[in-house]
Amino acid sequence: MGLDFTAIDFETANGFRGSPCSVGLTKVRGGRIVEEASWLMRPPSGYDHFDHHNVRIHGITPAHVAGTPRFGELFPEIGAFIGGDVLAAHNAAFDLGVIRSALEVSGLPGPAYDYVCTVMLSRRCYSLVSNSLPFAAEEAGVPLVNHHDATEDARACAGILIDIAARNGANSIAELYLSLGLDMPRQQAFDPATGELSKPSLAAVAGASGNGAALVRRFQSGWPEEGANPEPNADAEPGHPLYAQTVVFTGQLSIERPEAKLRSARCGARTESRVTARTTVLVVGDGFVASDLRSGRLTGKARRVLELHERGQAIEVLSEGEFLQMVGGDVPGGPQGAGADSWKGALAPAVSA
């Protein structure tokens, strides 16, 4: 078998991952891009409002998708393009979650997919202070010009996977995973008649029926409450990008830090309250995006991370949006569903915490 797969990227209308408004797909055969496809679409009915944060990120407005088919109507074409391929995505838990949640709220079945997460592979095979898509694409030699254009993001993801396979001397996805000692993750098939809704869909359905409370809170000055550091979930999925990581939080988040720590622990991460030699991931609030690593708009903890990274410590900086995608914690009305490196909430003054 050659290096064959399809890379996928979704943009969403709002903070619920089941609200896709755009998708880009890049098909690779023998390590070369051979075909691309993209669609604008209306999200599933009842989940199709456009949040201004998301629009500001990807530029897609309700007018752009007016008259286009809804996700459920387009999915047969999307599925036909993917066929039986392994799916690749940068933060695959999010993009695979888009498929699952959008199908669930549309009342439609979905097939199983084997998939590859290029965030996880980038973390494993590169040495970057941020594994967000623009940084990883630059390292792979496929610089990303128009981030959050679904087609360009999918193409960049494909380039990252092609580069990582080449660096590891792998001629197929199976060979790459074997060389890295990893098991191929798989999203199971879904049947609305018998399957249970995923947690993001359950929260969205509850919110749509008036039974869900928004998790977004206003910025408050002062030192955020750290809370306890819960024990990592021993039964968490080892393939999750936060599994076995040591996570620290800095700046104001849209959720309380104790809740952020709990979500991390559920994914198998250990949380701590300060940056140490054990830290492997720093999650930054205050509207941080990866470009801030170059501009210098950083908290004290983030500056400490940069120092440790320069000394050779394997440590990574995540925006809150990337973190929320990884833990499956969509914030109703928030912008994190718009794609990795996308948290652009109302900017608050940086704090040293």
Band the pLDDT of 165: cuts 50, 70, 90.
Answer: very high
Rounded to an integer, the average pLDDT of 7-17 is 94
Q: Which of 43, 130, 36, 128 is nearest to 81 (CA)?
A: 36
Q: What single-letter amino acid sits at 92?
A: A
**Chain position carrying tokens 């300060």:** 274
**Chain position carrying tokens 């198998």:** 268
pLDDT digits (tens, 9 = 90+) for 180-189: 998 999 999 9
Spatial distance between the Cα atoms of 276 and 71, rounded to a whole number of angstroms: 45
Band the pLDDT of 115: cuts 50, 70, 90.
Answer: very high
Q: Which of 150, 158, 156, 124 is nearest to 138 (CA)?
A: 156
Element (H, E) at 264: helix 257-266
The sheet with strand 316-319 has its strands ordered as 270-271, 246-250, 281-284, 316-319
Element (H, E) at 103: helix 92-106
Strands (DSSP E) contained in 94-193 are 113-117, 186-187
Q: Which of 84, 86, 42 is nearest to 61 (CA)?
A: 42
Spatial distance between the Cα atoms of 87 and 26, rounded to a whole number of angstroms: 10
Q: Which of 304, 314, 310 is nearest to 352 (CA)?
A: 304
Q: What single-letter amino acid sits at 274?
A: R
For the chain, what's the residue count?
353
CA atoms within 13 A on the CB side of 187: 25
User: Does the pLDDT at position 210 exceed 60?
Assistant: no
User: Does the pLDDT at position 316 exceed 50?
Assistant: yes
Structural tokens at position 276: 């140490």
User: Does the pLDDT at position 246 exceed 80?
Assistant: yes
Band the pLDDT of 336: cuts 50, 70, 90.
Answer: very low
- Full-model pTM: 0.76
Spatial distance between the Cα atoms of 93 and 204, rounded to a whole number of angstroms: 17
CA quadruple 283, 286, 290, 296: dihedral sign: negative
Separation in Å, CA 183 to CA 71, 77, 178, 200: 30, 29, 8, 25
3-state secondary structure of 53: helix
Spatial distance between the Cα atoms of 186 and 280, rounded to a whole number of angstroms: 26
pLDDT digits (tens, 9 = 90+) for 261-282: 999 999 999 999 988 889 999 8
Q: What single-letter amino acid sits at 202?
A: L
Spatial distance between the Cα atoms of 54 and 128, rounded to a whole number of angstroms: 26
3-state secondary structure of 12: strand
Lowest mean pLDDT segment, chosen from 65-74, 205-214, 341-350? 341-350
Backbone angles phi, psi at 248, to 5 degrees: -125, 145
